């Protein structure tokens, strides 16, 4: 599963058990990617809080967030995160297998409203080359109705996913979906 010692759902207690219960309610089971963080319960709680925040985000919807994660993970070559988010997009009926393949080949082809597509491409640009982001990028998003808070939240979501990709690859989280 991973080269780090983790706590299985069956052996979890305290804070880890509480977080596992939340994950199980949302996903039906506790995937290996979530179990990795049981090695550090405080970090796990922080990540669970961030996940809850994004799950209820007032402006950034599930399709956009899942595409951000999948495509940032593609930039980082993290097979687990690519596959997990593909499975979520397909499993929830957001995209077909063919649409996922097309979006992975050309993110600008994502079947999103123009506003969301612009945010997606901005986040990919920021995660690929942060120094290339300038005032014009933000002005374009503001012109589509995005607030600065939305822009910060979206880029953080992509940047945080880069950290997740590094963690999953470094600790050899095995695909379990």
In the predicted model, is pLDDT for residue 84 greater than 90? yes
Res 177: pLDDT: 81
Confidence category of residue 53, pLDDT binned at 50, 70, 90: very high
Paired tokens of 85: 């988010």
- Whose CA is closest to 158, among 79, 64, 55, 30? 64
**Mean pLDDT, rounded, for 155-177:** 96
Paired tokens of 16: 């880890």
Question: What b-and-e string marks burial along 39-77, b requiring 16 or more CB atoms within 10 Å of the CB?
Answer: eebeebeebbeebeebeebebbeebbbbbbbbbbbbbbe
In the predicted model, is pLDDT for residue 111 greater than 90? yes
Determine the distance from the C-alpha atom of residue 44 to the mean position of all C-alpha atoms in its chain, rounded to a whole number. Answer: 15
In the predicted model, is pLDDT for residue 72 greater than 80? yes
Q: What does the alpha-carbon distance between residue 102 and residue 112 come to, in Å, rounded to a whole number?
A: 13
**Mean pLDDT, rounded, for 97-110:** 98
Which tens digit of pLDDT belongs to each residue from 122-139? 999 999 999 999 999 999
Confidence category of residue 112, pLDDT binned at 50, 70, 90: very high
In the predicted model, is pLDDT for residue 37 greater than 80? yes
Res 145: pLDDT: 99
In the predicted model, is pLDDT for residue 1 greater than 80? no
Enter the pTM of the model: 0.94
Res 18: pLDDT: 97
Task: Give the 3-state secondary structure of residue 113.
Answer: coil
Name all domains of the chain by residue range, CATH numbers in brackets: 9-55 (no CATH), 62-170 (1.20.1290.10)
Looking at the chain, the whole-number percentage of residues with pLDDT higher than 70 is 100
Determine the distance from the C-alpha atom of residue 25 to the mean position of all C-alpha atoms in its chain, rounded to a whole number. Answer: 18
């Amino acid at each position: 599963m991973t080269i780090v010692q983790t706590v299985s759902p069956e052996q979890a207690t305290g804070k880890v058990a509480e977080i596992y219960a939340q994950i199980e309610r949302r996903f039906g089971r506790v995937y290996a990617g979530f179990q990795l963080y049981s090695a550090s319960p405080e970090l796990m709680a922080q990540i669970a809080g961030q996940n809850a925040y994004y799950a209820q985000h007032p402006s950034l919807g599930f399709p956009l967030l899942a595409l951000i994660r999948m495509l940032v993970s593609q930039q980082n070559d993290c097979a687990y995160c690519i596959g997990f988010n593909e499975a979520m997009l397909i499993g929830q009926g957001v995209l077909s297998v063919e649409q996922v393949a097309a979006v992975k080949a050309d993110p600008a082809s994502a079947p999103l409203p123009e506003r969301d597509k612009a945010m997606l491409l901005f986040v990919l640009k920021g995660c690929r080359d942060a120094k290339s982001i300038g005032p014009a990028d933000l002005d374009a998003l503001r012109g589509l109705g995005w607030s600065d808070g939305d822009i910060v939240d979206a880029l953080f979501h992509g940047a945080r996913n880069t950290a997740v990709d590094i963690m999953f690859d470094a600790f050899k989280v095995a695909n379990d979906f």
